[in-house]
Amino acid sequence: MHIVIVDDDKLVSSSLKMILEAETGLEVVGIGSNGQEAIELYRALKPDILLMDIRMDGMSGLEAGAKIIEEDQQAKILFLTTFSDNEYIVKAFQIGAKGYILKQNYESLIPSLKAVYLGQRVFGEEIVSKIPTLHGDSLRKSDLTAFNLSEKEIQIITQVANGLSNKEIAETLYLSEGTVRNYISVILEKLQLRDRTQLAIFYYKHT
């Protein structure tokens, strides 16, 4: 399996090369350090998999990836990044990347590479929550604790995000309308938002 690695941190790319080549059957055939090089290397070497940092100086991995996939629909690109970012995850999905892995999670790199090689798509845990229509009914614990939101507040946010008016929320949760207003007021303050519409938007962006 031929692999090209592209990362603007040389240290990362050479460590990756070592890790990968410890495995028989894997061969790192090229190393690059920016988006432009990624495109050139891909064209020249046609690797089975392109392992690329999503964030790089100059042309980002995403841009490069989009271009490469445009040229070769079959291209198998696995993105690497050090942190999970909403925007990136969704975009990576959109351009048709085969996967997305956090660098921290280096043990899962080889199995993921193989799975991708064999036609699977591999994504970290985070991806699922970022996909709109598959939302569950409530915000993830991780998101809510980060903002000190109580259980009840979450319930209210969820109702707002379902498009209910204060009166309707009051009926649903057996509270008075005024109480619901108070809750929302507090929530908006906590989240630094202005009105319920922004709150609903927040919900959909963090779910």
Write down the least CB distance from residue 37 to its own copies, Å. 27
Give the one entry of DNA, its own copies, none that residue 132 binds, where binding means its C-beta sits below a cut-off of 5 to 8 angstroms depending on kind. its own copies
Scan residues 155-174 and list those touching its own copies (CB under 8 A). 160-163, 165
Which among its own copies, DNA, none contacts residue 105 (Cβ within 5 to 8 A by kind)?
Answer: its own copies
Helix (H, G, I), strand (E, B) or coil at 71: helix
DSSP state for residue 83 in the 8-state scheme? S
CA distance 8 to 5: 10
CB of 86 or CB of 145, closer to DNA: 145
Both tokens assigned to 165: 């008016």
Assess 119 for contact with its own copies (CB under 8 A): yes
The b-or-e profile of 79-90 (16+ CB within 10 A means b, else e) is bbbeeeeeebbe
d(CA 2, CA 49): 7
The DSSP bridge pattern shows strands 2-6 and 27-32 to be: parallel
Q: Which residues bind DNA (CB under 7 A)?
A: 150, 152, 165-167, 174-176, 178-179, 181-182, 184-185, 188-189, 194-197, 199
Closest distance of CB 152 from its own copies, Å: 20
CB of 87 to its own copies, least distance (A): 11
